[in-house]
Amino acid sequence: MSITSPAVAATTAPPTTSAPEIASVLVVTQASLSLVAGLSAIPFAIVEPGFRVLSLLTILVAIGMFWLARNLRRQRRWARRWVIALEALSLVASLLLTVLPIGAMRGPVPVLVNLVMPAAILWLLWSRSGRAAFKTARRSDARDAA
Amino acid sequence: MYDIAGEHASAIGAAIALLVIVWLVLRALSVLSHRRVGWAVALLNTYRATSAITKLAAVLMLVSGVIHLALIPSHEGITGVLFVIDGLGFIALGVAAFFTSWWRRPAVLWLVATIVAYVVWVIAGWETPDQIGIACKLIELVALGLIMRLAQPGRRTWPRRIWRAVAFPMMASVATLGIWVGGLAHPDALHAHAGALLQPVAAVATPEQRQAASRLLADTRASIARYQDPAIAIAAGFKPGAVSSADPLRHFENSANANAVLDPNHPQALVYAQTKHGLQLIGAMYQMKRAGQWGPDPGGPLTQWHQHEGICFSPFGFEFSFETPFWTCPLGSTSITTPPMLHVWIVDNGKLGPFAADLDKAVQKQLQGS
C-alpha cells in the first residue's frame, strides 16, 4: 500500500477533535486505576473503619470520572471544567507529596501515573486544539437550541 | 514493593532515545520537505494527515516495542524469544498505523496478548514484576484505550455498549490483580512480606557477627527493662502511637532519639503488645532518618534492617492498606515509604528470631490470649 493511500484518510479523524478524545482516554485510565485502588482496599476495610469510608469514596469518585470522561468525549464544557479542576488538584497534591520526604514518588510508575498523566490531561484541555474543540461544541449547541 | 531491576534500567534510556530519534526524524523530514524532496514531502503529508490519537497510539506502541527489545539481553530462553517477537511486532504496528487501514484490530490483539502474557508470566513466577514492566503495561493500556476509541461505531446494541464500557477497566483490573498476585506469590529474597523490603546482607553470619548480635540483644533488653510500665516510657518522652484494630502491637516513639544510630540506650521506639492484662513490653525498634539509608548491621544477616514501602496510610489514625502495582492508593490516603528499621524482640520470637521484621504469629496469638 502506498504512503499516499486513501486508506489513511479513512482511518483518521480531523486532528482538531483529538484532544478531548485523548484526554477522555487518559481520564478513563485514571478512573480504572482508582477503581482498582478502591476495590483493593475493601479487604482492609473489614478491620479498618477509616478505609471503609476511603474505599467507598474512591469507588464513587472513579465512577464519577468514567462519567466525566464520557462527557469530555462529547465535548461538554462543564465536563472540561470539572476535569481541569480535579486534575489540577491531583497534580498539586502529587507535587506536594514529591517534596515531602516520605518516599511517595519513587520510580517511573508513580511519576507517570501521578504527574505525567494529570499534566498531559491539563495540557490537552488547555491547548489551542482542546479549547477550539469545546468552542466548536458550544456554537453547535447554540445552533441546535435556536 | 516494586523496584527497578538493575538489568531493566537500560529500557528507560532506550525509551528516551526513541523519543529523541522520532523528534529528530520529524525535524529532518520537515527540512527535506522544505527543499522539495519528493519522498520526504509524501511522508510528512502522511504524518500530518494522521489524527493525533493515532499518532499517540503509534508512538506508545513504538515505545513499548523498544522497551521489549532493550530487555532482551536480560531475558533468556523462550521469554527472550517472545520479547524479540513482541518488540518487532509493536514496531511494525506502530509504523503501520501511519500507512495502512488494517492496523487497528491486529494492534488491539497484540496489546491484549502482551498484557495477558505478562500477567501469566508474573503469576507463574517466570518474571518478577518491577517498575519497568509495570510502566510498560501502563503504556500499553493507554495505547489500547486510544485504539479502542478509534473503532468505527458499529451497531449500537446493548451487549456491544456494555462490552465497550467494561472492556478497558476490566483489562486494567486484570493487569493490576495479576501483577499483585504474582508479586505476593513469588516475593524475591529481599521481601519479608508484602511491603517490607529487607537490607541486602551476606547469607551466613560469622562467629563475630553472632557475638555482636547477642550483645545487641542483651544491651537492648537491659536498656529498655525500665520501661515495662508504659507510664514510665511516656514520662521519658515516648509517645504512644495510634490504636489500630488491625495491629495489636503498639509503637511508642521518642522523637528526641531520632538522631541516635542503633544505640541501645536511645531506641527510636518501644514496642508493646496488647494483652488481656494491659500493655506488655516486647521489644524496641531502631530506625534510621531517611528511606533507603540502611543502618549498621553488626550481626550481618542476623540483624537485617527492613523498610516498609508501597503502604497507603489513612488520615484516620494508624490504618493502612497496600498500594496497587500502578502506585495508586484509595482517595485521601497517602503512599509512604518508611526509613529502614530494625526490631529487637526481647520476648521469645519463635522460629523468626529476635531481630525479625515481624513478630511470630504464634507468639502474637499467645500474647493476645495471655
Model confidence pLDDT, tens digit, residues B92-107: 999 999 999 899 999 9
Q: Would the pLDDT of B297 be above 80?
A: yes
Q: Supply the ipTM of this predicted assembly.
A: 0.84
Residue B47 covered by a domain? yes
Percent of chain B residues past pLDDT 70, beyond the cut: 94
Q: Which of A126-135, B309-318, B328-337 has the lowest mean pLDDT?
A: B309-318
Q: Would the pLDDT of B190 be above 80?
A: no
Residues B18 and B121 in one domain: yes
Residues B221 and B117 in one domain: no
pLDDT at residue A6, as a whole number: 41
Calculate how close chain A gets to B71, using CA atoms only, in Å. 16
Residue A146 covered by a domain? no
Which of B1-15, B18-32, B153-167 tops mean pLDDT?
B18-32
For residues A69 and A80, what is the distance between their CA atoms, to the nearest angstrom?
Answer: 9
Q: Which residues of A69-91 are buried (b: 16+ CB within 10 A; e: fewer)?
A: bebbbebbeebbebbbebbeebb
- Count structural domains, chain B: 2
Residue A4 covered by a domain? no
A32 CB neighbours in chain B (<8 A) are 141, 168-169, 172-173
Do the Cβ atoms of A40 and B336 come within 8 Å?
no
Using 50, 70 and 90 to split pLDDT, how confident is the model at A121?
very high
DSSP states of A33-84? HHHHHHHHTHHHHTT-HHHHHHHHHHHHHHHHHHHHHHHHHTT-HHHHHHHH
Chain A: residue whose CA lies nearest to B135:
A109
Last residue of a domain, one of B188, B205, B227: B188
pLDDT at residue B202, as a whole number: 73
Residues B184 and B209 in one domain: no
Could you list the residue range(s) of the whole structural domain that residue B181 is in?
Answer: 6-188
Mean pLDDT along residues A130-139: 76
Residue B1 covered by a domain? no
pLDDT at residue A142, as a whole number: 57
Residues B164 and B246 in one domain: no
Other C-beta atoms lying within 10 Å of the C-beta of residue B241: 17
Residues B245 and B168 in one domain: no
Residues B27 and B101 in one domain: yes
Residues B137 and B210 in one domain: no
Who wins on pLDDT, B293 or B153?
B293
Cell match 491547548: residue? A127
Residues B40 and B137 in one domain: yes
- Count structural domains, chain A: 1
Torsion of CA B251, B255, B259, B265, to 10 degrees: -60
Q: What is the pLDDT of residues B47-93, one digit of tens each?
A: 999 999 999 999 999 999 999 999 999 888 899 999 999 999 999 99
Last residue of a domain, one of B188, B221, B251: B188
Could you list the residue range(s) of the whole structural domain that residue A89 is in?
Answer: 17-136
Residues B211 and B155 in one domain: no
Q: Would the pLDDT of A131 be above 60?
A: yes
Q: Which of A32-36, A95-99, B187-191, B255-259 has the lowest mean pLDDT?
A: B187-191
Calculate how close chain B gets to A63, using CA atoms only, in Å. 11
Residues B243 and B179 in one domain: no
For residues B199 and B188, what is the distance between their CA atoms, to the nearest angstrom?
Answer: 12
Using DSSP's 3-state secondary structure scheme, residue B291 falls into coil
Residue B156 covered by a domain? yes
B325 CB neighbours in chain A (<8 A) are 109
pLDDT at residue A64, as a whole number: 96
pLDDT at residue B245, as a whole number: 63
**For B99, which of A8, A40, A107 is closest by C-beta distance?**
A8
Q: Which of A51, A73, A109, A123 to mutate to test the interface with B (most CBs of B within 10 A)?
A: A109
For residues B173 and B188, what is the distance between their CA atoms, to the nearest angstrom?
Answer: 23
Using 50, 70 and 90 to split pLDDT, how confident is the model at A140?
low
